[in-house]
Structure 1
Amino acid sequence: MRISYNWLKKYISVNLSSKKISNILTDIGLSVKSVRKITIGSNREDSILDIDLTPNRSDAMSHYGIARDLYAILTYRGYKTVLSKPIINNYKKDINKYCFKILIEEEKKCRRYSGVALSKIKIDSSPDWLNDQLKSIGIKSINNVIDIKNFVMHELGQPIHIFDMDQIKGEKIIIKNAQNKIDFKSEDNIKRELNEKDLIISDTKNTLSIAGIISSHNSNISIKTKNIFLGSAYFNPVDIRSIGIKHIIKTDDRFLFEKGVDPTQTVYALQRMASLLKEIIKCKISSDIVDLYPNPIFPLKIKLRYKKIMDIIGKNISKEKIKKILSLLEIFILSEDEKSLLVVVPPYRIDVQREIDLIEEILRIYGINQIKKSSKIKIYSIPNFFYKTKEEIQKVIFNQLVNYGFQEIINTPMRNQNSDSFLLNSFFDRESINIINPINKYYNSMRSTLLFGIIDSIKYNYNRGNNNIKFFEFGKIYYRKNHQFLEKTCLSIAVSEIEKKSKKTIENKNDGFFYLKGIIEQVFKRIGIYYYTQTSSIHPIFKENISIRYKNKNLVELGKIKKNISKNIEIFYAEIDWEYFISIVKEKKIIFIPYSKYPTSKRDLSLLIDKKIPFEKVYQLIKKMEKDLIKKIEIYDLYEGKNLPKSKKSYTISFFFESKDETLTDIIINDLMKKIEKFLKNKLGSKIREIS
């Protein structure tokens, strides 16, 4: 989130540099990733603070929200400062032109809705100061009305939607669920189909907006607009997030509403925007503010115990300091006694719900650096994670798989030699070991894989109505190679699904594959195996499979079993060379690497690449290129299909950068990303796609 230093100083009077301000904000949990100088307008300088805000701090997603927190910490630290709320000048109704009504049908989804009408609007360019203010945080000027809306949104954190008043039928605003299968063309010219689960804002005939996060192309203002309606609301964040994901709506309004706005400032935000419009455009306020708040959100009451504060923080903070911090954070004390306080938390602090949250707020302002290490704390050595025996290692993995919901099975090591077994043995260039005098004709050879036993166990369970199958087996396999009799222990893991005949296709045929692959990766992580590679490979029994290799030797074969072998049951299977696995674990050594005290930065890269190139190849190339600063690489998205050439696919990759020596600036990271882009282009012929 970008915060303008000059803009911030409109609300808080303090003579501190932007660098000092950024350090103070970082101290109280509003981590500033970078501070950069810019020049805007007539050679006026500004500093832009790039704040890495945690998702729970919706109250700080605005300039005034940051100023409010900054005021609390500066006052507590003894600075002389004043917090000034944005001024509302000349707000009064000028004429009584409109008498509209607001109706909320979905009171759980829309808790509050406020609206006002303005007339004699003249759509024009914005004044220089407004252009410069928005430009400083990366927002392009559109026109004076939209620019004021954006200014108020980034000032107060409250979205305001604007409708052309002359397009509203019946002078009525209705917040309700849509009827089934309504076609809605939004301002981004995308047609969306709405149903009865979608919240809309409408008039008596038409849909004006989807939940206040995107407007209809018809209700939007234009150069011809003379009269406007301003709406300010509080929507249920969960509903907004659900609608936004469903219809792929990415707007600032959605971002704010789904985090949770301040329900007490809907009217204030309207008054602020209307007063700015009057000041800049000389328009008229043409109605009363209509405010519907059927089920008010009341401030939360929480009991705060002094002893609990001491137990959690580990230091006895005086009662006077505790009460001062609470007061500066606008958390008011209702009553108190010797042992506790009963406090009221303002509704805009949606992250403060429990006593422990209050204690965190106290520590945040008091300063975690003020808590010294107690002499009573004992320093313990790192626990011994070395596993010395096969039994210890097996117990660890056994417990891990059971905790993931898997069941252990034990199959007989004797099997019937069939064509599938013969095919498998031929592929691996090994011979079956036949039993000279089998007790049963169906058990005429020793198993050379755990695969067929686990398939039989799955089929047996399916035939008896058990459809949720997750099995594993530790067992030996037997075969002959180069005239030698060999036996080897393996670990097999399988998950399965039935392909439903009523559906033409399974929603995601690779769900089981990636789930099983994730289980294998967690097993490796638990035991300390990290530097492995994976490659696509050919296997006679698998339709789709990969080999996981460690030090250029096969450790795991993983894939989807062919339908003719699994009898139309979706089975995903992995077989681990257990003896090789044991040898890797035994040679492992624990190395303590301290955490970096500098922040991690993330960048995404969307890559257009040939379909035949697996992600593992991309991953290994990048790892070799830059080991020191790239902490982690993750595949975020894989896309094939519409708008891409048939021979291409798109990977979206997330890069996590971290240094042990310094905070990585945007310049350093951007330079690294350019090097990665150029490197991949030279090595793989890839192209960079824009991420929307």
Structure 2
Amino acid sequence: TVQNMLSDLLTANGFNEILSNSLTKSSYSDDLDSAVKILNPLSSDLDVMRQSLLYSGLEAIAYNQKRRSPDLKLYEFGKVYSIGEEKYNEVQRFSVFISGAMQGEEWNAKPKPASFYNIKAIVDGLLQKLNVKDFTVADAEGTELAYGLQYNRGNKTLVKFGAVATPALKKADVDKEVFYADFNFDVLLNIARKNKIVYKEVSKFPSVRRDLSMLIDKSVTFEQIKQVAQKTERKLLQDVNVFDVYEGDKLPAGKKSYAVSFVLQDAEKTLTDKAIDAIMQKLIFNLGKEAGAEIRK
């Protein structure tokens, strides 16, 4: 199953699965009006159904940190509950947590603390495993994250991830930074069911890389650059990557510099310099027109 496949991938990368109670405390809720309340709770710590997997993970992290086990990589599959439009809602979610050091102390290396890019790499790897593509990237919405991103497809959010906000950490008595990803597992399952495995021969012809250095507004994101490039050349463009970013006083106010690589490949023939130059000229024109990019020479 999809759940077993994702579990195997995370466990192979050093993660531990947690299973927590669906009952939790109402003080964790940011919206009590939509919470499913227990009519006869056993205690104030178990008076509502959970609306998020965030706090069950934070409680596990707090428990371990207090017992001198601060370096944690956890994941959980579970349901969350709410009331909306006069009916009860039950949604399957999937969460990933990273806290402490990604690499422990060794004689020849210092511990490497977890960062936003570690959780992003995990999210991207899981989506790649499920062959989930064609999503848009935006800043994460909501109060649970101090900063982060969310991946959307249409009007549905596939995943939100980033650094957990300080108020949420304090509620669970966690004193170290935590990076968290929250997947809408129901949506991912629907996408994964529609995937078809297609086999194709590895191209016998070489790929070609071309780099562009460009000056753009600080408000322009790499995702916008990537989308313009993919719209410009759908067939031959295999990969787009930013390998250098510069912001400093040597540039005009409100500007930043990106160095972006473009990998081109034709599965049927070797690309000629003339064909490559024509594609790059189209890219330069469209990047300037749609993203306001000024190519630096």
TM-score normalized by structure 1? Answer: 0.39
Specify whether residues 628 and 510 from structure 1 end up closer, same or farther in structure 2 by C-alpha distance, changes over 3 A only: farther
Give, in whole Å, the separation in 1 of the partners of 2:29 and 2:219: 30
Distance apart, 1:494 and its partner CA? 1.1
Specify whether residues 552 and 668 from structure 1 end up closer, same or farther in structure 2 by C-alpha distance, changes over 3 A only: farther
* Matched position secondary structure for 2:100: strand
Alignment of 1:238-317 (within 5 A): none
Give, in whole Å, the separation in 1 of the partners of 2:63 and 2:86: 36
* Structure 2 counterpart of 1:348: none
* Structure 2 counterpart of 1:677: 284
* Matched position secondary structure for 2:189: helix
Q: Is 1:658 equivalent to 2:265 in the alignment?
A: yes
Judge conservation of contact 1:446–1:478 (CA < 8 Å) in 2: yes
Per-residue CA deviations over 1:289-344 (Å, capped at 9, x if unaligned) read: xxxxxxxxxxxxxxxxxxxxxxxxxxxxxxxxxxxxxxxxxxxxxxxxxxxxxxxx
* Structure 1 counterpart of 2:24: 415
* Structure 1 counterpart of 2:105: none
Judge conservation of contact 2:100–2:113 (CA < 8 Å) in 1: no
* Structure 2 counterpart of 1:636: 243
* Matched position secondary structure for 1:566: helix
Distance apart, 1:411 and its partner CA? 1.3
Per-residue CA deviations over 1:12-45 (Å, capped at 9, x if unaligned) read: xxxxxxxxxxxxxxxxxxxxxxxxxxxxxxxxxx
Distance apart, 1:685 and its partner CA? 1.2
Q: Is 1:403 equivalent to 2:12 in the alignment?
A: yes
The partner residue of 2:125 within 522, 532, 536 is 522
* Matched position secondary structure for 2:248: coil
* Structure 2 counterpart of 1:455: 58
Give, in whole Å, the separation in 2 of the partners of 1:659 and 1:510: 41
Distance apart, 1:616 and its partner CA? 1.1
Alignment of 1:114-125 (within 5 A): none
Distance apart, 1:523 and its partner CA? 1.2
Larger Rg: 1
* Structure 1 counterpart of 2:156: 553
Amino acid at match of 2:282: K
Distance apart, 1:551 and its partner CA? 4.2
More strand by share: 2
Q: Is 1:478 equivalent to 2:86 in the alignment?
A: no
Distance apart, 1:570 and its partner CA? 1.3
Distance apart, 1:510 and its partner CA? 10
* Structure 2 counterpart of 1:534: 137
* Structure 2 counterpart of 1:468: 71
Give, in whole Å, the separation in 2 of the partners of 1:470 and 1:399: 14
Alignment of 1:90-105 (within 5 A): none
* Matched position secondary structure for 1:442: helix
Specify whether residues 645 and 410 from structure 1 end up closer, same or farther in structure 2 by C-alpha distance, changes over 3 A only: farther
* Matched position secondary structure for 2:61: helix
Give, in whole Å, the separation in 2 of the partners of 1:644 and 1:496: 36
Alignment of 1:178-189 (within 5 A): none
Alignment of 1:34-49 (within 5 A): none
* Structure 1 counterpart of 2:106: none
The partner residue of 2:39 within 436, 439, 442 is 436
Unmatched 5+ stretches in structure 2: 102-111
Judge conservation of contact 1:539–1:545 (CA < 8 Å) in 2: no
Judge conservation of contact 2:140–2:149 (CA < 8 Å) in 1: yes
Judge conservation of contact 1:563–1:569 (CA < 8 Å) in 2: no
* Structure 2 counterpart of 1:621: 228
Per-residue CA deviations over 1:70-94 (Å, capped at 9, x if unaligned) read: xxxxxxxxxxxxxxxxxxxxxxxxx
* Matched position secondary structure for 2:162: strand
Give, in whole Å, the separation in 2 of the partners of 1:461 and 1:448: 23
Amino acid at match of 2:187: Y
Amino acid at match of 2:162: G
* Matched position secondary structure for 2:285: helix
Give, in whole Å, the separation in 2 of the partners of 1:485 and 1:491: 20
Judge conservation of contact 2:224–2:291 (CA < 8 Å) in 1: no
Judge conservation of contact 1:432–1:446 (CA < 8 Å) in 2: yes
Judge conservation of contact 1:535–1:616 (CA < 8 Å) in 2: no
Judge conservation of contact 2:98–2:114 (CA < 8 Å) in 1: no
Judge conservation of contact 2:232–2:282 (CA < 8 Å) in 1: no
Specify whether residues 662 and 578 from structure 1 end up closer, same or farther in structure 2 by C-alpha distance, changes over 3 A only: same
The partner residue of 1:562 within 165, 169, 182 is 165
Amino acid at match of 1:635: V
Alignment of 1:18-417 (within 5 A): 392-417=1-26
Distance apart, 1:479 and its partner CA? 0.5
Specify whether residues 510 and 636 from structure 1 end up closer, same or farther in structure 2 by C-alpha distance, changes over 3 A only: farther
Amino acid at match of 1:421: S
* Matched position secondary structure for 1:520: helix
* Structure 1 counterpart of 2:107: none
Distance apart, 1:661 and its partner CA? 2.8
Specify whether residues 552 and 607 from structure 1 end up closer, same or farther in structure 2 by C-alpha distance, changes over 3 A only: farther
* Matched position secondary structure for 2:9: helix
* Structure 1 counterpart of 2:216: 609
* Structure 2 counterpart of 1:598: 205
Per-residue CA deviations over 1:612-645 (Å, capped at 9, x if unaligned) read: 2221121112111110110111222223234233
Give, in whole Å, the separation in 2 of the partners of 1:555 and 1:641: 35
Amino acid at match of 1:472: Y
Amino acid at match of 1:473: E
Amino acid at match of 2:55: F
* Structure 1 counterpart of 2:191: 584
Q: Is 1:543 equivalent to 2:146 in the alignment?
A: yes
Distance apart, 1:511 and its partner CA? 5.9
Give, in whole Å, the separation in 2 of the partners of 1:552 and 1:672: 33
Amino acid at match of 2:89: L
Unmatched 5+ stretches in structure 1: 1-391, 499-508
Per-residue CA deviations over 1:121-142 (Å, capped at 9, x if unaligned) read: xxxxxxxxxxxxxxxxxxxxxx
Per-residue CA deviations over 1:130-155 (Å, capped at 9, x if unaligned) read: xxxxxxxxxxxxxxxxxxxxxxxxxx
Per-residue CA deviations over 1:183-203 (Å, capped at 9, x if unaligned) read: xxxxxxxxxxxxxxxxxxxxx
* Matched position secondary structure for 1:433: coil
Judge conservation of contact 2:36–2:49 (CA < 8 Å) in 1: yes
Distance apart, 1:394 and its partner CA? 0.8
